[in-house]
Structure 1
Amino acid sequence: MNIKEAIIDGILVLEYQSGNVKALATLVKRRHKQFCEKAFWILKDADLAKDIAQDS
Structure 2
Amino acid sequence: EIGLDIDERFNASVLAAPNRSDVPPQLNLNYRASELLNLQGSVDSLGAWQTQLQIFFRF
TM-score using structure 2 length: 0.20
TM-score using structure 1 length: 0.20
- Structure number with the higher strand fraction is 2
